[in-house]
Amino acid sequence: MKPPKPLTLFRNPFKPISTLSPLSSSSSNPQSNHTQHAHIPLSKTHLYSSFFCTLIEAYLACRRFSDATRAFSSMRRLHGLNPDTDGWHRILYGFNASGYVSQVPILYSEMLNCGRTPNVFTHNVLIHAFCKLGLIGDALDLLRRVETDVVSYNTVIWGLCRGGSVESATGFLSEMLKRGVGFDAFSCNTLVHGFCRKGLVNEAQALRDMLVRGGVEPDVIGFNTLIDGYCKIGRMSVARDLFERMRREGVSPDIISYNCLIDGYCKVGDFSRAEALMDDILSAKLDTDSPEGENGCLNLEPNIVTHTSFISAYCNQKGLDEALSLYEETVKNGFLPDVVTYSSIMNGFFKNLKLVEGTAVFREMEKTAGRSVESAMFMKDMLVRGIPFDLITYTVLMDGLFKVGKADEAEDMFETLLRVGLSPNHITYSALINGLCKVGNMKGAELALLYMDEKGREGNVITYSSVINGYVKKGMLTEAIDVIGKMKERDIFPNVVTYGTIIDGLFKVGRDNLALDMYKEMVERGLEVNNYVLDILVNGLRKIGKMGEAEGLFNDTVQRGLSIDQVNYTTIMDGLFKRGKTSAALKVGHEMMENGIQPDVVAYNVFIKCLCKLGKFDEALSFLSEMKALGMTPDHATFNTMIAALCKKVKMDAMFKICDEMKSHGLYPNLITYSTIVGGLCEEGEVDKAMEVLNEMTAFGLRPNSIIHKKMLHAQARGKNADSILQMHEHLIEMGLIPDLDIYNNLVHILCTFGMISKATSVLNDILKRGMPRVCLDITTYNAILSGLSEAGLMKEANEIMNEMQEKGLDPNAVTYNILVSGHGKIGNKKDSIRLYCEMVRKGFIPMLGTYNILINDFSKVGMMIQARELFNEMHKRGVSPNSSTYDILIRGWSKLSNRAEVQRLLKEMDKNGFVPCGSTIGCISNAFARPGQRGHTRRILKSFYERKESERFLHGLFLIDTFPYTDYEAFQAL
DNA sequence: ATAGGGTTAG
């Protein structure tokens, strides 16, 4: 594990960063103390100041701010010129419009100091500047104090809407009427836009309808704003209706109307409708070009905005290559890509982890934009709705660098962005915070949050969800939950992503009940399960043994109309494979392909895992080749799966061969690979060989983990004494193992398993004496001890520990009960196992499948089949699905009682669920039912019959061929 | 006063 990276962010967070020398404050300007100015004849002062004003306007227009401020200083301090009111207005307006808004209030006071009288226009510019600076209070103050017109009010409405306060903005309409200024289409459209931006499109429409009834003229801008509003919330049919209505009402759609619709269709992936609209524009253009065709649609030509919508959507939905070829075509047709086009492409590269190409696009942009002189005009084009091109571009770049794993460079990029004078908005901060969280730098993330706060930027649900994710990934759930509290304080409501993140985290640390509470809360708040949350819940429920509930949820969600995606399919397949329901899993695979979803690397890994599990290594290998042929890159999971399977089958030579193949793919064994191999060798008792592998592993800089610790100690324990176990434990710590609660639980568990109870107790006391940080006896520790005792069959000692635990006030949890029920079950102590089973069920815990299997087996093996059947029904009732072993156990039990009918019924049910009886079950069946002297023969028939069925399922599922008809039980009947 | 690019979970 890498040590936490030093904080490079905010090495000096509060240093003023600016390349500009701000206006005003004359004392800092050496020129200002001169009483004698450069000589300008009095008759020419008007001409000169007018010239300066024009120069300043020009500089501002092309964002050469330092030149503009220098020219202003020169005019005022060097030449002592005082422009007339018109001149001051031009400067004020220029600064305000160019984006260098912070200077407007300063200029305004200087204007007053110079004896010029402000009028409505002056104040409107100032109000506008206040609004842009987020100083709504100052804007409203001014509005109260000075002469106003409709523009002043419209500006304030705009400012309020921009800050999200649409309700108070709407309130100004009545004040406008009262004051006799009246409102106009500007007021209306601004408010409509304000509502739309918050997603309140219905409210926007209602307001507009009302104002139109009150006499406001419906115009193209109002229609466009509403159309765009509907597009943005994905309600394309309503947007389209409005578009048609607009034509009917005699308002001609313009290119913006078309662009809104096109972008909307692109975003929902309806490219054919988007393209049809593009064709409409082109044919309308042809009509206008031809002398006779005049359809009223002037200036209807696609522009770079139209094309960028397509390019961007292609990037996100069709893939980078498609986007790039569209981009090339656009350029070839003479459209000049602008900053948005470039940023989209750059983003596409980074999202596809193409660092070199992404950076190259950025350099190209820099080059084009920085080519000064005449490129000044180009820079102006790069201004998009008043946002300097750099902010989003830099955000894309920074985010991209984080995504490709260049966290240091990403942080540098953030500093650069500050250095060039950009002020980050909440999205930039969110991207930064997310990046820091992803590299685990939570301190940096918290600092960035504070910094953002100080700069007056408010985080949104995405910002905080990123932080939550950061904590969740570190297992710091308490901190994650605290963030939710912080969000609620700020009226930022967790959304489905926030809930998904936290639910996932809670399941992963085993706090299942809290996870389910969160899920409940989410549903109560009216949030709907999506593909992500479905997957999180299915995985979580599966993990805690509530497979029945998982399946129920899955089916409910499908019923509700959610279309299952690739990940959902893969998870379900994996779940079914793990439960041995091979054919059901393959059916899902079939369904997935029928729905046009191609299996990806993960799905292939699931197939390969299943093949391995069934011992079909050759087929697994052919899947590996197939993956490569399809251009997919096998990953660590692919190889680790095969390695694990070969380890289990004790085919260590083949396993090492796979390791070599993995290396030939440029993939090096990771911690999972090593744990698997070490585990495999340990199972074989090859402790020395395992240690050799561990030495290789540490040479690669990997530390042993708790899995390795467990396996090594277990292997070492066989036939040895407690001291040698402790020696191995110490040795692993020397190799870099970090001793935590898990590790001590392992140690205690193993000592108990091998009956070294007193040694275990002394280790425990030792830990307590040494005061291991964060190590305290919890239910997990007790479960570890109980599990060890249980495995060793020492149930008397287990009962004593259980009593001690309860005296200390620790309540047994689901894990404890599963351990104890199984423990008593395994030694045939039916009285206690059933007593504890009843107790756990009464407390609402659901026994795991394994626990049921042990219980059923305990009754079944002594012929108590009525009780076994009762337990089997109980598990059904509680939503626990049987696996292959459950059926094997029952069939063997009934076979011993020669109950042909039960055996037939169970075989049929087993088959329906996609299971096949194992070898020993087949043995039991033939022993019970075959004619004397025919047992071996019958066993062979049965065996080949079930093997054939298994392979047919494969063929049926994987290669989609029809299974040839056979009578299910012909072999059985033939007995 | 209206259109295209950037931030979150399996």
Q: What tens digit of pLDDT does each residue of A826-881 get?
A: 999 999 999 999 888 887 677 888 889 999 999 999 999 999 999 999 888 876 77
Does residue A567 reach within 7 angstroms of strand B, measured from its CB?
A: yes
User: At residue A159, what is the residue type?
Assistant: G
Cβ contact A391 with chain B strand, < 7 A: yes
pLDDT of the residue at A580: 75
DSSP label at A179? T
Q: Which residue is nearest to nucleotide B5 (CA to C1')?
A: A340
What is residue A969's predicted lDDT score, i.e. its pLDDT? 45
Residue–nucleotide distance: A9 CA to B6 C1' (Å): 20
A698 pLDDT more than 50? yes
Task: Return the pLDDT at A288.
Answer: 56
Of the candidates A529, A557, A554, the one whose C-alpha atom is nearest the C-alpha of residue A539 is A554
* A162 in Cβ contact with A131 (< 8 Å): yes
Mean pLDDT over A408-415 rounds to 95
The alpha-helical segments, DSSP class H, found in A525-565 are 531-543, 547-559
Give residue numbers, 838 to 897 of A, with CB < 7 Å from strand B: none
Give the pLDDT band (50/70/90) at residue A26.
Answer: very low
Backbone angles phi, psi at A171, to 5 degrees: -55, -25
Chain length of chain A: 975
Whole-number distance in Å between A473 CA and B9 C1': 11
The pLDDT tens digits of the residues spanning A349-391 come to 999 999 999 988 888 877 766 543 333 444 444 444 444 557 8
Q: Which of A615, A614, A621 is nearest to A639 (CA)?
A: A621
**pLDDT, mean of residues A520-530:** 94
The answer to whether the C-beta of A565 is closer than 7 A to strand B is: yes
Measured CA to CA, the distance from residue A642 to residue A621 in angstroms comes to 9
How far apart, in whole angstroms, are the C-alpha atoms of residue A505 and residue A509?
A: 6
C1' of B2 to CA of A335 (Å): 22
Give the helix ranges, DSSP H, for A843-877. 849-860, 865-877
Buried b (16+ CB within 10 A) or exposed e, A770-779: eeeeebebee
Within A 68-127, residues with CB less than 7 Å from strand B: none
A399 touches strand B (CB under 7 A): yes
pLDDT band for position A28 (50/70/90)?
A: very low
Q: Which nucleotide has its C1' atom closest to residue A388's CA?
A: B5
Residue pair A430/A462 in contact by the 8 Å Cβ criterion: yes
* A165 is near strand B: CB distance < 7 Å: no
pLDDT at position A499 over 50: yes
pLDDT band of A440, cuts 50, 70, 90:
very high
Measured CA to CA, the distance from residue A151 to residue A154 in angstroms comes to 5
Confidence at residue A4, expressed as pLDDT on a 0 to 100 scale: 36
Q: Average pLDDT, stretch A468-478? A: 94
Residue A19: is its pLDDT beyond 60? no
Cα A98 to Cα A90: distance, rounded to the nearest angstrom:
12
Chain A window 512-551: residues with CB closer than 7 Å to nucleic chain B are: 530-536, 539
What would the two tokens of residue A222 be? 């109002």
Determine the average pLDDT of the residues in A177-186: 90
In tens, the pLDDT along A113-156 reads 999 999 999 999 999 999 988 889 999 999 999 999 999 999 99
Rounded Cα gap, residues A622 and A540, in angstroms: 32
* CA→C1' distance for A829 and B3 (Å): 76
pLDDT of residue A965: 34
Distances A574 to A350, A551, A567, A610 between C-alpha atoms, Å: 31, 13, 10, 8
Record the tokens describing residue A801, joined without a space: 């520990």
CA of A305, C1' of B5: distance in angstroms: 10
Strand B reaches within 7 A of the A468 CB: no
The Å distance, CA of A187 to C1' of B2, is 13
CB atoms within 10 A of CB A959: 7
Q: Integer distance in angstroms from CA A283 to C1' B4? A: 22
Which has more confidence, A682 or A633? A682
Token pair, residue A838, equals 């009843």
C-alpha distances out from residue A804 to A505, A750, A812, Å: 32, 20, 11
Mean pLDDT across the stretch A730-746? 85
Handedness of CA A598, A601, A602, A604 (dihedral sign): positive
Question: What confidence tens digit (pLDDT) does each residue in A578-592 have?
Answer: 877 778 788 888 888
CA of A55 to C1' of B1 (A): 29
Nucleotides of B under 7 A from a protein CB: 1-10
What is the nearest nucleotide to A315, using C1' and CA?
Answer: B5
Mean pLDDT, residues A733-749: 84
pLDDT for A856 equals: 94
Q: Average per-residue pLDDT in chain A?
A: 84
> In sequence order, what are the residues at sequence separation of 6 or more whose Cβ sits closer than 8 angstroms to the Cβ of residue A822?
A790, A833, A850, A851, A854, A855
Question: What pLDDT, on the 0 to 100 scale, is given for residue A51?
Answer: 92
pLDDT band at residue A952 under the 50/70/90 scheme:
low
Is any atom of nucleic acid chain B found less than 7 Å from the CB of residue A469? yes
Banded pLDDT at A425 (limits 50, 70, 90): very high
- C1' nearest to CA of A343: which nucleotide? B5
Look at residue A929 in the predicted model and tell me its pLDDT. Answer: 85
Q: Is the pLDDT of residue A775 over 50?
A: no
Which residues numbered 181-220 in chain A sit less than 7 A from strand B, measured from CB?
Answer: 185-186, 189-190, 193, 219-220
pLDDT at A959 over 80: no
Q: Is the CB of A347 under 7 A from strand B?
A: yes
pLDDT band at residue A647 using 50, 70 and 90 as cut-offs:
confident
Q: What does the pLDDT read at residue A36?
A: 54
Q: Would you state the pLDDT for residue A374?
A: 36
A292: amino acid identity, one letter: E
The percent of residues in chain A predicted with pLDDT above 70, rounded, is 88
Q: Is the pLDDT of residue A290 over 50?
A: no
Separation in Å: B3 C1' and A310 CA = 13
pLDDT tens readout for residues A264-277: 999 999 999 999 99
Other beta carbons within 10 Å of A11 = 10
Protein-to-nucleotide distance from the CA of A412 to the C1' of B10, whole angstroms: 31
| Mean pLDDT, range A90-110, rounded to an integer | 90
Q: Which DSSP state fits A811?
A: P
